[in-house]
Amino acid sequence: MNNDQPEQLAGGDSKPDQLGRFITSPEFLDRANAAIARAVAALEAKGIKPAYIVRDRDHGVS
């Protein structure tokens, strides 16, 4: 039994685990940043200046 394949341990589907690993991967961050850069460039090409929001990193935790 291989611990890298959770479906063998839990008897279920590993797709949610694979998705979680992908979403937290550097590859996902690179792709997301590239998509945002393309979207910003497309807006600016149309004369639209994107608005940026700086969010509090507290996440509501006290």
Would the CA dihedral through 22, 23, 24, 29 be positive or negative? positive
Question: How many structural domains does the chain have?
Answer: 1
Provide the pLDDT for residue 1: 44
Of residues 21, 40, 39, the one with CA closest to residue 29: 21
Domain containing residue 37: 1-62
Q: Please, are residues 1 and 9 in contact by the beta-carbon 8 Å criterion?
A: yes
Residue 33, pLDDT score: 95
Question: How far apart, in Å, do the first and last CA atoms of the chain sit?
Answer: 42
List CB contacts of 13: < 8 A, sequence separation 6 or more.
7
Per-residue pLDDT tens over the stretch 4-60: 555 554 555 677 789 999 999 999 999 999 999 999 999 999 999 988 888 888 766
